[in-house]
A and B are shown apart, each in its own frame.
Chain A
Amino acid sequence: MALANPMRPYLGRLVGVRNLATGIKLFQVELLEPEGKAAFADYQPGQFAFLSAFGAGEAPFGLASTPARGPYLEFAVNAIGHVTNTLHTLDVGDPVGVRGPLGRGFPMEQLRGRNIVIIGGGIGGAPLRPVIQTILDRREDYGHLTILWAARSPDLLIFTEEFDEWRSAWATEFHVTVDRGDERWRDNVGLITQLLEKVAPSPQNAVAITCGPPIMIHFVFLTLKKLGFSPDQMLTTLEARMHCGIGKCGRCNLGEKFICTDGPVFWQYEIAGFLEGFL
């Protein structure tokens, strides 16, 4: 019965909770029911799921993990609303619910053999982590990997403890910037678009994948265009405060498109053709 109702979450338990950045925690979820485990056996980078904090409700999050790296689902959660603030009060052993996996993920098969440029801003880096992990785990399937990572300030950078793994991987370069540094910050200071212009990845056989605040996505696309990337070389994933994730509730429409079922991953040429913009 459970499987027949897409609004019913699978039961899960928190097996790990750690601070990722100021106001951002990473939640590791173990699914308890066989139906849930089966549903999440083979989810794709870029897909999303609803995470329930029972009593508060549920909210959609990009899955921040891959099935290849372990059986637990990971969600990076910024405490900014009711559900996310309630999630932040939970700890290991507490029950949660998970609904998904939902939406169209990144076309990882189609990206084989291509050079990949990852451009993540703030919490927007979370849905890009599974892309990085998938490439690093099947390194020979993909070309050169360039990672550009950014946040407003150093304390808001996520997955910092993984920077070394990314930096040291074969044929991989890693750059990081913050809008405003602090006294201990020794790396780049400036907007991610400035870093992008400085690093200037070649568009040759490349695909750029970005996620961040809407205004950042907009300017990253413009910068990529200047660097010679064409609309079929740019991917992003969009956000909305969805309530169903299955194309019914109406909340996430951009014109006739639904972010939940038509996306959340879109090529830039798709977005350019949308009647209604995301900005």
Chain B
Amino acid sequence: MSVRRAIIHQLREEARRLLSERRVDCIIGYETGPRGRVRPAFLYEPAEADRLVWGPECVHNLTTYLHNKKKPRKRGEEPPRIGIVVKPCDSRTLNVLFAERQIERGRVYVIGIACEGVMGRDGQPAAKCRRCTDRVPLVYDLLLGEPPAVEPAPDDWSDLERVAAMAPAERLTFWLREFDRCIRCYACRQVCPGCYCPTCAFERDDGLWVDMGIEIPQKFVFHLGRAFHLAGRCVECDECERVCPMGLPLSLLNRCLVREIEALYGHRAGRAEALTPLLFELGPEGSPI
């Protein structure tokens, strides 16, 4: 039995056990749809466990769905307990969400999977996997699979070189051209586990920062603003870039800030359960920075 098949087998057994013992109310994992595409799956009954799959197509960061599970299904009940399948990169999101008091550690049962890497749309290894140093989730209650024998490649930031090499004016032109294609569908924000504000700053009725027009200036403000709001919080799962229907290289924006924050504060989001160093309380002594 291949490693992958062994993991799938274990995953299904574990899901069946968790659901039948009522350890969790719902399991969020992956399944294969009728078109053969892998997609997020929500399981409530032990009999559904065989829908679960695992493999290099499991690119989605499922932790974003935990935000939909904070409220009880019926009034007066406890919020549901969730079993969730995470890759090493996804597990970093959990650390951020725990630190930000968004998700209660005790309400999630984390099924971590040792990961050899997932694929991008083009069938090639995803960019995030080429720079992955983990291969084993940082947070889990159960670990499936063995740490793979692949050499962790250190992050050399080579993806940022093409923009770093541009003069400021050229860089502005580059981004305006990219933002021109944006249709302001908010998929990047909706998929982002770090974007959970009930009212997005860029979708306010009063248009305080930006009006609702789907034009370059609004898109420019939205994307740059979102990147700043994720500074020190983005775990580089690249989901924003994956879901973008217009192919905007959004992870470049986030990764620029990731590098800055790591250089300035030695902080890499989600490596530990810690808040971004950019979030602090202004006390009588003023800024702690």
Residues of A within 8 A of B (CB): 56, 81-83, 85
Contacts and interface: CB of A to CB of B under 8 A. Distances in A.
8 contacts: A56-B206, A81-B205, A82-B204, A82-B205, A82-B206, A82-B207, A83-B205, A85-B206
Contacts of A82: 204-207
A71 B204 CA distance: 36
A59 to B, nearest CB: 10
Interface in B201-255: 204-207
Contacts of B207: 82
A56 B206 CA distance: 7
A80 B206 CA distance: 11
A114 to B, nearest CB: 38
A235 B148 CA distance: 67
A196 B175 CA distance: 62
A83 B204 CA distance: 12
Give the interface size class of chain B: under 10
Interface of B: 204-207
Contacts of A56: 206
A56 B211 CA distance: 11
Contacts of A83: 205
A85 B204 CA distance: 14
Contacts, number: 8
A130 B205 CA distance: 30
Closest 7 CB pairs of A and B: A82-B206, A82-B205, A81-B205, A56-B206, A82-B207, A82-B204, A83-B205
Nearest to B204: A82
A82 B204 CA distance: 9
Contacts of B204: 82
A56 B205 CA distance: 9
Contacts of A81: 205
A220 B204 CA distance: 33
A83 B205 CA distance: 9
B50 to A, nearest CB: 35
A85 B205 CA distance: 11
A81 B204 CA distance: 10
Given A81-B205, A83-B205, 6 more contacts: A56-B206, A82-B204, A82-B205, A82-B206, A82-B207, A85-B206
Nearest to B208: A82
A85 B206 CA distance: 10
A53 to B, nearest CB: 11
A83 B206 CA distance: 8
Contacts of B206: 56, 82, 85
A82 B207 CA distance: 9
B279 to A, nearest CB: 28
A102 B207 CA distance: 27
B1 to A, nearest CB: 49
A82 B206 CA distance: 5
A82 B211 CA distance: 12
**Most chain A beta carbons < 10 A, residue from B204, B206, B207:** B206
A256 B26 CA distance: 33
Nearest to B205: A82
B267 to A, nearest CB: 37
B281 to A, nearest CB: 29
Nearest to A56: B206
Nearest to A83: B205
A77 to B, nearest CB: 15
Contacts of A85: 206
